[in-house]
Structures are given as C-alpha cells and as structure tokens.
Structure 1
C-alpha cells in the first residue's frame, strides 16, 4: 500500500481514496440488505414478519408502507456480515425505510457520496417516531434533509421530526394530549468494570421523594451517631442501601403483618453469582484471587468487598454448590435438572447462535440432537440424551429458527457448536465468540 507514498500529500490522497472506498462499500452493503429483503418477503398475512421484541410488545423494523421481511431470512444475512440478528434487522429496516419513504436521501447514499451512518440516523428517527409519521410527513423530512445530510446531526433530525408532526396534524403547539408518566427508577449497570459502585437515578412523586429524603437523612444521622466517620454523601448512600435491605421506611411487603412476621422478613435477599479463582498453596491451604467476576452484571469485584457484604448485619448469605464445568451431568428426563441447567448456562455464557450476545440466563436450554420422547416406550436408545454435551443455550428467537428452518447445528465436543446455514455458510461458536468457517464464500480460506 505504501510503496508509492513518498510525500505527505501522497498520504492525504491515499486517505481520501480509502474514505471513498469505505463509503462505496457501505452503500453497497445497504443495497445488498435491500435486495435481500425484497427477495425474502413475509407471508401475506404478516404472521412471519421480522419485528423487534420488547417488554412492551413488538415494533416493525421499518415504517408503514414498506415491505415486510421473513423473520427467518434475517439471520443468514447477519451471519454473512458478522452481525447479530437484531443488528441485521436494523440494517434491513433502515434500507427499506430509505428506499421506500426517503427516496431522495436513498439516491444520495447509494451513489456513494454520503456516509451511510448519517442516512441511517434519519431512517431510525422516522421509523420509531411516536406517534408514527404518515408518508407525507416522512416525504417532507426527506425533502428538507437530503440536500444537507452532510451537515445534519441528531439534534437537527429530532427537530425536523417534531416539526413534521406539527405540520401533518400529529401534534400542535398547544397539544394537550396526555403526556407519558415521567416516574422511573434507573440503575446504571454499565459502569466501568473496575468501578465498585453503581449510579441510581429516579423520578418520584413529590410525596414519595420527600419521604425518601427524610428516611435517607435519618439513616445518615443514625450512622453518624453510631460512630461513622464517612462523609455525608457516603453515609446517605449507605443509608439508602440499608433501606433496600431492611425496608425500615418503605416496608410495603410487611403491611398488615404481625411484629414477629415483620421481624422475620426485614432482611431482603439478593442473589449474587460470584466467581473467584481458588488455588491450593504448598501447605494445602486454599487461597482466592483478590479480584473476581460478578456474573450478574459482568463486572469485576474485589474479594474484600464480598467479605464486607457477608459480615454486614442481617445480610442473608446463601452459598450455592460449586458447578464443575468439566463434569458431565445427565438425567433420564427431557427437562434438565436445575444443576445441569446451571452448568450449561455457565459454560455457554450467551446464546450460542453465531454472533448472538443474549445472556444465557435469559435463554432456553435446548437439545442439540433432538430428544426422542418415544424412545423409552419403544425400547430404543435415546438419540438425544439430556446431557451436558448435548445441551446448548439458545435465545427464544434462535431456538425457533433452529426448530423451524434449514439451519443445522452440530456439537463436535462439549461447549463447541458448529452451525450450517441454508445457503451453506458455516460458523463455529464457543464461549470465546464466533468463527467464520465458510471457505471460498468470501474468497478466504477457512481458519484452522
């Protein structure tokens, strides 16, 4: 690449050429996503259409009037691009939105002169506008943004969407429709791995907020009276933790209970799944590493902090048996035992479909080779036993895909899974991630 580079100007020219090549490649990928979508339509009744799932229901992947896509076709494209199935849904949805509802912007992007990510910002905003924008409103946004997309940021796009809603009757300056309830509690579990705290942010009713403020202040004062030398902010945070454990001020569960029953239920149990490395010393004693992993949130945690939790008054400590990931467990039943299920979840960590990252605790535990419910009755050996080596964690979406489509799953050894797609793509999945085994499909040899 650098053989002909002799001056800084040559480097600048090379950078410009590469930037243009990247824009062209990204635009081509968007075109591929669109062609893939229109060649894999959903059924006329939309029963198999790709949608996004959330705790509040389902949401289409693109705006009203765009073609619906077969949900089972999405994973094939995601595998080819190295994307999760949800990321592939989003890419396809953006391509459909741009092609059908934002045609001016689509023309500029597919010509290779506009960064794809900017156009996708607009598509994301128009797809998920609430309330949904009519075609006329989206067309107006397309007219406004397409000539100036290079200088348009997220805030400007949001203002355009809001303006389109007002212009096309979805909102007015004196809109008196009911606003969403702002009350919420959020616990930020995505803080840095080495942070030993979590941020809590909430919006409460005024009365509840004042009650909480009074309880936290009283708890902080009580800690100071008991000899605590921590700062006021630290004592207030400790007091809030005490409220969570003992419900001294917000004892909703104990309402109407006797004093004896309330005393028994004041300590609240929180299950933490902690992993520390243990080693045997020369004197046969066991020592633990100073730093371990809190599985619930994939965070590093200090052994000293765990000791403080254990020694805290009224802390309910439950020690679960250690699960050996190298041990082979089995049962004669179809449903795995709790211990077997726990072992498989710990081994796989996530859904084992290529590139999927859904935590194994929220996945189904499925048989790699299907369990034959009639084998015992017919006196035949069980082809799909419920054993460690024949189980895998699959999120519900990929469990259905494995059951109802041409994707083939094979497990050559415990914890290693090889997938073959209907179009011949091959992937290996283990606890370290996804490896593409498709030799020749991308012009490269398969990895060892």
Structure 2
C-alpha cells in the first residue's frame, strides 16, 4: 500500500496500526521474558541438583572413613547418632582431616562414569568445603553460590594452613557468588603471603629457578623437517617484565611488517617476528625501512595501514606495595589485574636482574579521592589512569574482561556548543567498559548510573527492566 493510500484511510486506520504494532511489541517482550524465566528456572534446578550431589558425596565419604571402627565404638556408647560402614581397605587418604578409604573411590568413579582422578577431586573439594570452609559450604547448601565456583575455591585452599583457609573463607564467603575466578586466585595468593611468608618466599625462589624455554619439534633432529607444515612449537617461563618486553618486541616487529605491506594476521606476523629478532642486524634494517615508510605515508604516496602497532613501545609497570605485609600488586597494560599479588621477593629479583641501561621511574601515588574533569570528549591520560585504577575490569554485569577497555560516558556527551554542561569528561563521569559491552550499552537499550556513595559501584537496568548492582566484589542481581 502506498503512503497516499494509507493517508486516505484516515486517522482511525493510523491509530489502529499503531495499536497493533504496540500489541506485537508487548507480545514479543512477554515471550522473551517467559523464555528467560524458563532458562533461569532450569539453571536454578541444576544448581540445586549439584548442591545435593555435593552433600551426598560428603555423606558417602563419611561412610568410607578408615577410622570407622573407632566411630562405631562411639556410636555403641551412645556418643554419636549415625553409624558409618567399616572400611575394609587400609589405604587412607587424608582429605581435609577426613581419612577416606582410597579403594572405595573406584566405586564412586564408576557410578559417576568418570575417571577415578575426577571422583577423587570431587570428594576432596566437597570435604574441603565442609570441613575447612564452613561459611562457603553453608552458602552452597543455601544455593547462594554455584558448586563450580565453590569447588574452584576449595581446590586452591587445600594446601593452605588452617589459619589461612579460615581467613579466606571469612573474607570471601559473602561475595563468592560474585567473584571471578581470577579474583578468587588472587585472594588465595594474598592469604599465602600473609599467613605463610616462608612458603611464599620459597615459592618465589622456586619460580625463579623454574624459568626456561622449551622447544617442541616433530620426531627427528633439528636439521630434519619439523613436519609437513614446517612449523614447531616453543614456550617458556620467565619473569613477568621479561615476558612483557618480549611480547612488546614481537608486537613492534609485527607492526613494522604491516607498515611494509605484509597483509597477514597479527598472530602470523608475530610468528614471523620470532625469526626477525633472532637476527639483530635484520631487525634493525626492518625498523629503519618501516620508519621510512611511515614518513612517506605522510605525503600521501602510500595509504596508511588499517591498524598501526606500537612502534618503539615503552610499557610502564606500576608496583603498588602494601604497607603492612610483604605483598605488592602489579599493574600494567596487557597484564591481567589478577596477576597480583606478587611477593616482594619476586619484585626484588626483577629489579636485581634488570638489563644495563634500564631506567626505574618512581611515580607519586594517585589519590582517588581527588576528582578531575575536562570539557573535551576525549579524556586525557591522567583521567584515564584514574578510571583504570578504580575500575580494574569492565563494569558491565558479570563481565570480567580487562583488555580493549573503553572509557564510556555514563551520560551521553553533549558538546559545549550544543548546550552541554562543563566538566562532562572526568573520573566521576566515565566508567570502564570492554568494547563489546560499550556497544551493548550504546545501541542495545541498557542503562546504568554510578552510585553516589561509592564511585566504584554501578546500577544497571536491562532492556527488560532487570536491575543489577556492580561493585568491587562483583555483580548482584537486584529484585
């Protein structure tokens, strides 16, 4: 139907059409909400079943304690209410203070249809939670924490001292359901540094001795072919600053290859760079050619590359020392926030093994209680630093990304010439979002605001009206 014909139908037809469109939108929203509620209910059912399975596993372990004979005597004396089956084997495995018959694990593994190692880990995790992490265990039973996340915590606390395990449980249990896996690891590492400094120093020393580079070739000598594809694998363990420097060197050479016309992907160009940096003279010649090419691009003789790498990149590494413990937090671009904490022993080794000519620059501590803002749309470096120091991760609900961070204007930026207020770009008006969630917020109908009492806390509203609170401990759905 043409626009003229539609107009001839009169305003009643227009109103009816608009009402039909509104009804259709409401129907779609109702369907979407119904399907999401169905998914949420199935997830809740799975969580309840997994928690019940974990409880059953601990009860199974109680029935197969190797000290069951002593327990049965206590039951006979009326001291304990429930009997346990006597263990026939004499191979106890201490699992968080509970001696479990090792041979009995085979029956559990076959019932679960998993290898015996998986069954053993399940029992160890369950008993660790019940015996040494009682607060976290209670939240699992109450279905407030998913089993997989509680087991992740248990796997990391098994080797801790009782004091350290209690400290982790006391500080993490209330927020465990919101914490990412990397932040759980960081909390356990911090407990080791605080309660067992000798172990932390020994691990740092051992880590220094475990450094190395390993090469993986196909069967045959180095002179022979490494397979029909002609490639080989290599990997290594080195100090964090050295690994970052090596990554920067590869990234720089990959960018130079792109400037010189190499259209391969960045990963392929970084692989080519491995051989280039092995030849210092070739590497220098390539750098000179790339910089000459960049100068000619300025005259329009050559189109600039779509993505230019960081030629001559210098990467600052910020080390935040704790005032009361032998702990530090390391922060730098390209390094996950959860790479911390780091023992001061490791940092001392980094500094002592710096190459000649490397500079160490001490910068003042940034006071996040001071706030800065400018009138331009683009945030200057000092404001970006404040946002990054406050928001370690993307602040979208349940997102743990740190890479490719944008500093998003919480309220849309309005130019001053168009009537916008001054100071729209500041640490209180910006938040850290990964590129994907920046697009979701801008084009997907999501809204959020910063809470006035906590600059690092945000309240989000989804297109369907669901509310979420995101703060330093993670994400909390709001009812």
State the TM-score, normalized to the length of structure 2. Answer: 0.39
**Greater helix fraction, Structure 1 or Structure 2:** 2
State the TM-score, normalized to the length of structure 1. Answer: 0.41
